[in-house]
Amino acid sequence: MRFDFTTEETDFRNQISTFLDEMLPKNWGGPAGLSDDDGWALDQRLRKELVKRGWLVMGWPKEYGGADSSPMMNTILADEMAYRRAPGLDGFGTRMLGPTLMAFGNEEQRAQHLGAIARGEVQWCQGYSEPNSGSDLASIQTSAELYGDEFVINGAKIWTSMGHRADMMFMLVRTNPDEPRHAGISLLLVDMKTPGIDVQPIVNMAGVHHFNQVIFDNVCVPKENLVGDLNDGWRVGMTILNHERSGIEFAAGARAAIEELIAYINNPDSPVHSAKSDPAVRIKLAELSTEVEAARLLCYDVTWRHGQGLEPSFEASMSKVAGTDIYQKVLEYGLEILGMYGGLEPASPQVELQGRFLKLRMLSTATTIFSGTNEIQKNIIAQRGLGLPRPPRPPGLANK
């Protein structure tokens, strides 16, 4: 079997490339080199332009502001944007929440939220992880008690990406503490301007403010903001995670990094130019390039399944593991090749490649953790893909 793109798909990729040539700053190396405010401003400019061209939610049905484009066209857009390290795509709203509302939301929720996402008017964030609940998502403790026409939320979410920029949050809450672990959970939509919400910044080791801790103190949310059935949030939440895990961004980032590294080694002015003849370096670059292409094709396989009307499960986990693993491997090898130059900050006069590999490697640490750690993904692959039994629970947790 040979996989290839149609003429229409290839032309579309070229259109995106031309668009990014026009929109991105000269010598663009990615938003990691910008301040938080400058990065957000560029994100908003690009998002508006994507809306003008009808690309932001092109894969959505026309009735919700999309163009009924194929899943393949949508993935090509995400692939090219991530390859160029371009912001502008609101993955929380466009890829994760939007399709979930189409599947589980009621007509009022679709009318209220989908149009705003399609027009690029609202930024969403995701409230899943908690200070004491990460990969074991079923152990969440943030509560939502129903009083009359409102849920009252108390608790905390952590590692909330874009929480300081978000207008809205979709979050998992425990609505029935007496039910088993995976039951008694519901998914709510929350306006981030609601009284009682406190967003506390978390600056990561790369010096970037992307994560936040969000505290909820008697936050009142209308019961109309419940997505799906009460206490059925686990099923709704897992649908969102499958959309999150199946993205091509990590494989595209790895492709950009390996190509940049190869070009750097081939540059006669590079201080490591002599490495191009080293057999060990050549073999390692060949191995990494092979893994990059394999990860990329796994992502396109997930897209093909979407196009066939299938709902990927363990296949999404496979693409997430492959993409994040190779992304970190490429960045780590780049730092190895750079040697002492690899540890220099962007402001250093002797820095190489604008210090991108160091910063991107630090930022990439989270990729094998969020959306469910890669260890969790491998359990999903083993159980759902290979038919292996569930691993035994650790002592002390067997009956919880």
- The one catalytic residue in 244, 249, 291, 315 is 244
CATH number of the domain that 361 lies in?
1.20.140.10
Does residue 195 form part of some domain? yes
Q: How many helices (H) and strands (E) does the chain have?
A: 11, 8
Residue 162 has pLDDT above 70, yes or no: yes
Determine what percent of the chain is predicted with pLDDT higher than 90: 67
Does residue 100 form part of some domain? no
Q: Who contacts 276 (Cβ-Cβ below 8 Å, separation ≥6)? A: 265, 266, 282
- Report, as an integer, the average pLDDT of 21-36: 85
Task: Kindly indicate the confidence band of residue 205, based on its pLDDT and cuts at 50, 70 and 90.
Answer: confident
pLDDT at 242: 65
Residue ranges making up the domain that contains 252: 246-385
Total of domains in the chain:
3
Average pLDDT, the chain: 91
Asked about 293 being catalytic, the answer comes back as no
- How many Å separate Cα 360 from the centre of its chain? 15
> At 288, which amino acid appears?
L
Residue 399 has pLDDT above 50, yes or no: no
Q: Buried b / exposed e across 278-306, counting CB within 10 Å, b at 16+?
A: eeebeeebeebbebbeebbebbbebbbbb
Q: Are residues 230 and 251 in the same domain?
A: no
CATH number of the domain that 15 lies in?
1.10.540.10
Q: Are residues 232 and 287 in the same domain?
A: no
Are 122 and 167 a contacting pair, CB within 8 Å?
yes
Are 96 and 244 a contacting pair, CB within 8 Å?
yes
Q: Who contacts 105 (Cβ-Cβ below 8 Å, separation ≥6)? A: 113, 227, 228
Are 213 and 189 a contacting pair, CB within 8 Å?
no
Residue 400 has pLDDT above 60, yes or no: no
Cα–Cα distance list, 111 to 64, 108, 114 (Å): 8, 5, 6
**What confidence tens digit (pLDDT) does each residue in 84-143 have?**
999 998 889 998 899 899 989 999 999 999 999 999 999 999 999 999 877 778 889 999
Q: Residue 216: enclosing H or E segment and its boundaries? A: strand 209-222
Does residue 99 form part of some domain? no
